[in-house]
Structure 1
Amino acid sequence: MMQPTAVAGRVVEPVAFSAVRASDKSRKSNSKIFFDTTLSDIGFGWNSRSSEFICFYPGSYFFTFTAISDSGSHFKAALMKNSDEVVVAWGERVGYQSASNSVILNLDKNDRVYLNIKEGEIYETSKTGRGYTSFSGFRIY
């Protein structure tokens, strides 16, 4: 079990999560990405039902995500903070194109971070033991 760490005299509670495999219901344009599998969930924040990170401890957080385009379809996936698009990843329609992005965000209590498909369609493997789409984050300070 991870223990709190003191940084500059302030106790920083460990917070981290990682989720993979986009569910069938969330792979097309104008939809939120829901994840089938939570690989790790440390501390407070990750809500597997809504596939969102909800900030409990205000601070700075690192987030990263990746997805793959379906053959013949591009995609634009966006990391959202509350209802605002923060960063995007773009995958081309030729073959299966991987795209990812990362960001450091300052969050206040109850800020929500999640992924949306803004355009196109993402691809996910039919093998249930793995996933091509991922979303991870952890608290820095």
Structure 2
Amino acid sequence: MWSGLFLVFLFVVQTKSLSVRADDRPQTSGPDGETAKTDILRQLLNQETIIRMGLDKKVHDLVKDVVKMKRNVDNMKKIIVTTNRDLLDAKNEIAAIKKENSILKTECQVQSNVTSYLYDNIRLAKNSIKQYQRTQIELSSAVASLEVFRKNMSLLDGYVEKSNVGFTVGVLSSNFPSLSNDIVLFNYVITNTGLSYNTKTGKFNAPKSGTYVFFVTAVSSYNNTLSFNIVYNGTSKVRTYSDESAPYQTGTNLVVLVLDKGDSVWVSRGHDKLFTTFKNIPLTTFSGFLL
């Protein structure tokens, strides 16, 4: 645009120069002089017409360029407004996403806390169930042992009345005492008619010759192996056995022996794991009587 204006300016200066030169020429009179003036005027008019046409075109082009530039500026403004609006929408959307993420994080934390709480409660419930089952097993074994003990006592009492020789002894501690040669010392006396069982030596000494019945009951501690032997003068005759396949197993055995006066019978250990007691009532006992 500015280059066009500069060209117009140069053209006008050139025209003025021509006019000055024409004025500096010596004027002539006559027909020839008039003709020369006419030619000069005609040339000047032609040049003016050309200049005007050129200026009109340049002005028209300038106007078109200004209009185009204005249109471009308007379009740019619209684009800027649209872009600003999009940026604002994007900022609002980002803020909404951040808020939603914060809410989700809070919910996840709450869910994690609830899951941890439920897991702890489930673990406590499982432990309680295991403890309850263990207690039930222990009580069932204790009841069964007490029932066996009651029957043995009834049987023993019937024979003791006739023979006047009989005993039932037990232990109350799971760490049972024993003497040398693994003789189990039953130091809790329930019945000892005739004082034939010696609580210091752990042996029954026959006060007279005859046929005797001996019975031993042993309840193992939780998931432990336990076995007892009934020994006659140093020879094992029968054995109880409680394995570790299930908790609180009861092992029992009975033997009938023909004894001479002074013979000895006692109980020795096989497997020396712990056995069970129940509220100061012996579950592991040793009994004998004369038929």
Q: What range is the shorter-chain TM-score in?
A: 0.7 to 0.9
Aligned to 2:164: 14
RMSD value, Cα? 2.4
SS of 1:91's partner is coil
CA distance, structure 1, for counterparts of residue 270 and residue 219 of structure 2: 14
Segment drifting more, 17-26 vs 86-95: 17-26
Query: CA shift at 1:115, angstroms?
Result: 0.5
Paired amino acid for 1:124: T
Aligned to 1:9: none
CA distance, structure 1, for counterparts of residue 281 and residue 271 of structure 2: 24
TM-score (norm 1): 0.80
Aligned to 1:86: 237
C-alpha distance 105-22 of structure 1, shift in aligned 2 (>3 A) = farther
Structure with the largest fraction of strand? 1
Aligned to 1:132: 283
C-alpha distance 47-123 of structure 1, shift in aligned 2 (>3 A) = same
TM-score (norm 2): 0.41
Aligned to 1:105: 257
C-alpha distance 4-87 of structure 1, shift in aligned 2 (>3 A) = closer
Q: In 2, are the aligned partners of 1:22 and 1:33 still within 8 Å (CA)?
A: no
The correspondence of residues 1-141 of structure 1 with structure 2, limited to 5 A, is: 14-21=164-171, 23=173, 24-26=175-177, 31-93=182-244, 94-125=246-277, 127=279, 129-140=280-291
Query: CA shift at 1:4, angstroms?
Result: 8.8
Segment drifting more, 116-125 vs 60-69: 116-125
Paired amino acid for 1:97: Q
Q: In 1, are the aligned partners of 2:227 and 2:269 still within 8 Å (CA)?
A: yes
Aligned to 2:69: none
C-alpha distance 121-22 of structure 1, shift in aligned 2 (>3 A) = farther
Unmatched 5+ stretches in structure 2? 1-159
Query: CA shift at 1:117, angstroms?
Result: 1.0
Size of the aligned set, in residue pairs, is 129
RCO greater where, 1 or 2, for CA within 8 Å and sep 6 or more? 1
CA distance, structure 2, for counterparts of residue 4 and residue 39 of structure 1: 15
Query: CA shift at 1:47, angstroms?
Result: 0.9
Query: CA shift at 1:26, angstroms?
Result: 3.1
> Which of structures 1 and 2 has the bigger CA Rg?
2
CA distance, structure 1, for counterparts of residue 185 and residue 227 of structure 2: 16
Query: CA shift at 1:113, angstroms?
Result: 0.6
Structure with the largest fraction of helix? 2
The percent identity for this pair of structures is 26
C-alpha distance 44-90 of structure 1, shift in aligned 2 (>3 A) = same
SS of 2:239's partner is strand
CA distance, structure 1, for counterparts of residue 274 and residue 284 of structure 2: 8
Paired amino acid for 2:267: L
Following TM superposition, where does structure 1 have runs of at least 4 consecutive aligned residues deviating by more than 6 angstroms?
A: none
